[in-house]
Structure 1
Amino acid sequence: MPKAIRHYVRWVDAFNRTLGRIMMYFIFVMAAILLWSSFSKTFLLPSLWTLEMAQFAMVAYYMLGGPYSIQMGSNVRMDLFYGEWTDRKKAWFDAFTVMFLIFFLGVLLYGGIDSTSYSLQYGERSNSAWRPYLWPIKVVMCFGIFLMILQSIAEFFKDVARIRGTQI
């Protein structure tokens, strides 16, 4: 593999690994928000912001942890035939199917950018009583999708290297 591709794969893997490990702890942020929600409903006045903020934290948790999940290979596969294949055949199949993932994520990113620009342009807010602006979470979603595309491309290069009998 060319040096530029090896450098790209290492950089994307390192960035997504670091971000993914940071995002692992976001589950505690979400738990703290929900704990505060329960506490405030029981002992104080109910908070208007807790449910929606927990949803936003969950979106950030999934979207920014997604590239790390792709990198770790923790995505779901149908193992009916795949488990019996050789590593080279698996690499061929993965290199082919990752193209569908990249296409899907590209369409998702296109729609996400369009929705984010609309949200920024018109100051879109949620319809809840709290009425937060929606553009920050949409930006997080677009960034997460973009990182998933970068990680998917890196996985494609790793598959091509496995087909050639080398590793990156």
Structure 2
Amino acid sequence: MAAGTKKRKKRMKRQLQKRFKQTSGTVIVETKESRQLRAYQAQLDEVYGTGMITPVERFINQNAVLIHHCSDCKKDFYAKPRWLVKGQPHNCKSGGIAPNKSRGKSSKKDHKIKTDEKKGAELAKELDELIEQGLSPCQIRNKTGVDIQIVAYYKEKFHTKTRQQG
């Protein structure tokens, strides 16, 4: 019986080697997820440059918040794929130019930054001067970055009092 077992083992070994030779070229099965990930990475490369931003997690859909890695600042950050594909910058301190800056449009954030940098007294003085010139609240907002409602409130409450006192 030992001889029959040896023959059977040799035969099985030959069969396995034969199968292995037939399938020796590694077969890579491409899944739906891998195709989506490659397509998404191609879009990121188009916007930010090759390999600059890479998704750390598996791509789910355009609205799912994923972890990404920036090779420039060496940081991980959360972002939706649709934001990044449209060119939204992340909080990278590398000095990259934000897409909305290149279009010449300013955002509410830009206005807030302008207002935070100014001191209260300087801002009040500037608002008084602009109101004296007869500018509309929209024009004042564009120059100072102060919200329209705040300009109207200031004009109504404080500017008329200072004119009456002075």
Structure holding more helix per residue = 1
Q: How high is the TM-score relative to the length of structure 2?
A: 0.18
TM-score, normalising length from structure 1? 0.18
Higher relative contact order (CA 8 A, sep 6+): 1
